[in-house]
Amino acid sequence: MAEPPPTTGTHDRQQAIYRAGLAGHRPRLPITHDALAARAQRRLSARAHAYIAGGAGDETTVAANRRAFDEWRLVPRMLRDIAVRDTAISLFGHRYPQPFLLAPIGALELAHRSADVGVAEAAARTGVPMIFSNQAGRSMEACTAAMRRIADHAPRWFQLYWPKSDALAASLVARAEACGCDALVVTLDTPLLGWRPRDLALGHLPFLRGQGLAQYTHDPVFRDLLAHTPADTTRPPITPRLLANVLASAYHYPGSTWQALRRGHAAAAIRQFIATYSRPDLTWTELERLREMTRLPILLKGVLSAADARAAAAAGIDGLVVSNHGGRQVDGALASLDALPAIRAAAPDLRLVLDSGVRTGADIVKALALGADAVAIGRPYAYALALGGADGVAEWIANTAADFALSMALAGATSVADIHAGAIELVPRTRS
């Protein structure tokens, strides 16, 4: 029998599972990440799983992200008063109940029909910030409305892929402000799409099927650009699969599917997305214009270099997301956790969020001890979404929060402030 989804707290999560076990109930989701991923793979289509789980090249960066955590060992300290624990953090003037955020993931409709809205509902229930993806399957307005129905001030951030149109960038940022986002995360590591063999082997990119385009198709500036969409000069041969994909793209376009087909809006939106997506010529000078667009705190996502961290600090950036895009962009890249200590030393005043490879409560403890102010987690909640929708994500959040609280306390700290003050002892694996 499946255990009902959690509705309260996180510190009592472990005991709640054991109590439910007395009545024959087991958790809805697998507890370990590997079991969670394996069950989600059975639920997801081959294309969906390839997109969510896949990495660049031989996926050595994906493996390096996990190996980096294993290279550090916690040294638990004894006889410390850990009866009262506080897992909360403060970022940019906002207090959040846990030191982890839900990282932006594109095309979440691949995982579950509720897509980003399901994740937003779970985030609102638990108070964990959700970073709205620029490549979302549901608009930021729809996600915000879902969150406000549960908790009016549920925390949310927005991820920006800087498009070729500055007017479109300004419109996306203005919408994020109107939605009450606490911060803006500018992803820098995807000026071009990485070489991703799992997707390439299936010939599958969700955006060409109209998935993951909701932020664009709901944007007034983008819709105005449709009148200037380049003509389609590379149309593939007409096959039943092509016709099915054309119909699917119309289904994902706002409003009437028939009208999107008849007027060609869905096809035009895909072509316009291809024409405007990302800026391979983006440089540090453009960041000055972004600061003019918004009063929100700005974080740069994808920084692995200490030199880039110093440049960000000099440019007046508020924070960094230390990330290699979950290993999806550059094969053989430095693991995010390996980059963290040098970036902390290079930019001591910036807020740092560690992203890529975080899976367990112990991973979060290690990242915080090595200099992160928080972490962002992606694939695990996408798997939870695939298995249980919003309830699945809420359960995964509850499990992760409990795992962190216990790991922190058993290692000898009672708060994130304690961890930052040096209460956690870490040693390299070679010394353990």
CA distance 223 to 315: 32
325 is catalytic: yes
In 3-state terms, the chain is what percent helix, strand and coil (to 5)? 50, 10, 40
Q: Tokens in use for 4?
A: 């009902």
Q: CB under 8 Å to 335, separation ≥6 — which residues?
A: 61, 64, 65, 67, 68, 324, 356, 357
User: Along the 432 residues of the chain, how does pLDDT read in single tens digits?
Assistant: 455 444 334 558 999 999 999 999 999 999 999 999 999 999 999 999 999 999 999 999 999 999 999 999 999 999 999 999 999 999 999 999 999 999 999 999 999 999 999 999 999 999 999 999 999 999 999 999 999 999 999 999 999 999 999 999 999 999 999 999 999 999 999 999 999 999 999 999 999 999 999 999 999 999 999 888 777 767 777 777 766 766 667 677 888 776 766 677 778 888 899 889 888 999 998 888 899 999 999 999 999 999 999 999 999 999 999 999 999 999 999 999 999 999 999 999 999 999 999 999 999 999 999 999 999 999 999 999 999 999 999 999 999 999 999 999 999 999 999 999 999 999 999 865
Residues in the chain: 432
CATH for the stretch 29-202+278-431:
3.20.20.70
Question: By the 8 A CB rule, do 276 and 165 touch?
Answer: yes
CA 61 from chain center: how many Å? 17
- The active-site residue, picked from 33, 204, 325, 420, is 325
Three-state DSSP string of 108-151: HHHCCCCHHHHHHHHHHHHCCCEEECCCCCCCHHHHHHHHHHHC
**Domains in the chain: boundaries:** 29-202+278-431, 217-276
